Every structure is written in structure tokens, then in C-alpha cells.
Amino acid sequence: MTPVVVLTTTEKREDAVSLASLLVDTRLAACVNLFPVESFYRWEGKVQSSAEYKLIIKTAEEKWKELQHFLFEHHPYSVPEITKLNAEMSEYYLAWLADSLI
């Protein structure tokens, strides 16, 4: 199993909590952290900023395509951030991660 971390953001805390709960419940993620952030981005030709909630999703490369599909289906944004980062984890955390995804 190859560990990865996937990032996304939502505007509302309720949406972040809902996504996090569903991802862990369906075993697409072993763990999801969320915290408030201030985001700056270009949208419709203008630089904008907004308060958002960042989700840090810990999962496996083998779940990547299914997780992407899930986020496209359930995310409230029309163009959600879905960023995958390769990760290295301690052998103990990796074993827990693998067990949590089956």
C-alpha cells in the first residue's frame, strides 16, 4: 500500500465535517483533519479571498480514483481543490492506515 495525503477545502464547517465523516465511514480515508484557513485565489478574473476549512485526508494511492469520484459527487464547490501528495509514514502509522482502509 502506498500512502497519500489528499487536500480539499470547503466554505462551511458543516460541509467539511460531513465530508470527513463520510470519507472515514466509507473507508476512503483512515483519518481526516480539518482546520480553518484563509484562502487567496483567482476566480472569474479577480483575486479573491475567503475563510475556508482545509481537509487533510490520509488514505492510500489505491483509493485515489474512488476518492476523487466521491469528492466530485459530494463536494459543494463546482471546482473543488483535490490535491494528492505522496506521503511517507512511520511503519506503525502505515499499518494502522492500512487496517483502517479495509
Q: What is the pLDDT of residue 28?
A: 98
What is the CATH number for 81? 3.30.70.120
pLDDT range class, residue 101, cuts 50, 70, 90 = very high
Overall domain count for the chain:
1
The reported pLDDT for the residue numbered 72 is 95
Domain that holds residue 19: 3-100
* Lookup: cell for 77: 464547490
Mean pLDDT, the chain, integer: 97
Q: What string of DSSP letters covers the chain?
A: --EEEEEEEESSHHHHHHHHHHHHHTTS-SEEEEEEEEEEEEETTEEEEEEEEEEEEEEEGGGHHHHHHHHHHH-SSSS---EEEE----HHHHHHHHHHT-
pTM of the model: 0.94
70 C-beta neighbours (distance < 10 Å), count:
18
